[in-house]
Amino acid sequence: MNAVDASVHVEVETAEETPSLCTVILDTNPRAWAAIGDTLPLSKAVANILVFLNANLAFSNANQVAVIAAHTNRAVWLYPTQPEPSPKSIRLPPSDDVPMHDAFGSTAQASANKYPQFAQIESAVLASLKRLVESTTEPDLDTTTTQLSGALTLALAHINKISQAYTASKADTTKSHAPCPSGLSASILVVSVSDAEPSQYIPTMNAVFAAAHSSIPIDVLSLSPASIAQSTNGTVPAPASDTPPNVKDQPAANSFLQQASHITNGVYLQPAHPQGLLSYLFFAYAFADNGARAALIPPTHHTVDFRAACFCHGRVIDTGFVCSVCLSIFCSVPEGADCLTCGTHLALGSYGAKPAVVPRRKKKRKRMLANGSVREETGTPGGGTPMRCVLRV
């Protein structure tokens, strides 16, 4: 039939849009939110984040979102929530009634003015956040930091699981001669309100390097009081007077998150006015996929704090000792000069030895003679005063 029909027949393959997965890590430290409660309460921040998530879902029907709470002592899923137990797994006494199968349905109320998926996400996030707040005890309120490393690990594991499931499903439905589509375009957004914990440097950086290896950008929106003060005044709080010169007790303005954003090619932002949280989310983090990131110019952070935390005490240091085998960092020389991680003996060379003091050379003095010539004389080598001797015969 091609010989009869002179028209050219070309099989056009529709290019499918790569979906994106936006994972939001919300810092839920109670003391940190109480410090900025007059400026931005937690309820208003959650409402703005839900609007941002709905906007990401509105870009494409294939887009997905996830929300994780980084609390003081644990990381908790806010959405998607853990599945509730099935009626068959619940053991009841013989005298009780048999539960109905539809009793474990969705608790979201249907509304004609709201998209069903938006209402489902909102109800799940608010219900999970309410349970988290109710389970917080008084000792948890004394902690000023959060479990950010655990939240990053949960986010990376969820992204890997969803990406593998999406790639496998697309590979089954794709023709043998057609190229297999790429996986999800994933990104992580961290909304931080508390300071960084130096002891979490190692697990946090492990998660950051895993994200960089998987090409997952980590965006950071720092709302901590220290970050707001630094972005407003441009100053960093001075260390304590009794602190050693190479040791800093606390990193300035979330230095670990600055490094995470820089290593993964993310966006780090310190808003001077937290009241405009929704505007910052839309203008700085609306591009969830990597294709949009390459086409747009995101906001940049002019300074990055690259200081690390030592492996022995968890202190943020300016200068330290690094093992040449495992790259462990120490604020001071370990006992016996042996690495605490791998046991390698640290070759310190002449470190700590007293330098050899070279005596200063005496300066030559010039003396004018009677004939007008100049004569150079060296100073007296001794430190005492010369004495005049008188000889008597």
Contacts of 376 (CB under 8 A, 6+ apart): 364, 365, 366, 367
Q: How far apart are CA 266 and CA 252, in angstroms?
A: 19
pTM as predicted: 0.73
As a three-state string, the secondary structure of 326-345 is CCCEECCCCHHHECCCCCCE
Q: Where are the domains of the chain?
A: 20-83+108-169+181-305, 320-353
Q: How far apart are CA 117 and CA 374, in angstroms?
A: 101
| Amino acid symbol at 323 | C
Q: How far apart are CA 372 and CA 153, in angstroms?
A: 88
Print pLDDT tens along the chain (393 aa). 556 666 655 555 555 678 889 999 999 999 999 999 999 999 999 999 999 999 999 988 889 999 999 999 899 999 998 766 555 555 555 555 544 444 334 455 667 778 899 999 999 999 999 999 999 988 888 888 888 999 999 999 999 999 988 877 766 665 544 444 456 789 999 999 987 777 788 899 999 999 999 999 999 999 987 766 666 665 544 444 444 454 554 444 578 899 999 999 999 999 989 999 999 999 888 765 677 777 777 777 777 888 888 888 878 888 888 888 888 888 888 888 888 888 888 887 777 667 777 777 777 777 777 776 766 665 555 445 555 555 554
Q: Domain 20-83+108-169+181-305: give its CATH superfamily.
A: von Willebrand factor, type A domain (3.40.50.410)
Q: Nearest Cα to 321, choosing from 353, 345, 355, 356? A: 345
